[in-house]
Structure 1
């Protein structure tokens, strides 16, 4: 089972999506085909999931939020 931990200094805020910061979770013990990072906050839920072996996923609740996708992608490919 994979375990995730918050990355120090990785949290960020997108005020148009949530009042709370999104927490940048990374795998405690990285694996080549592991799914990481995961961007999450309890108010919004999952914002994004990164994966080096497959496409990244961004979960937006509204099409109007498409203008923030570049910021989210930058966080996923750090």
Structure 2
């Protein structure tokens, strides 16, 4: 049994539409954004202004924004 690929989380800069920024996840070399319908793949390049977050900081972001914490465990794999 193999271990799942690690997921790294990021947050975009704040904007008028997203005062807390957007939550991103990097898995298998692909960047995903948390959207209303779940994780949406953005591509392979992360936004240059996105900052890395720890898992705890990503959980805090979800709690502030009202997202289900279980979403952090369901970032799609490209494999």
TM-score (norm 2): 0.34
Which of the pair has the greater relative contact order for Cα pairs under 8 Å at 6+ separation? Answer: 2
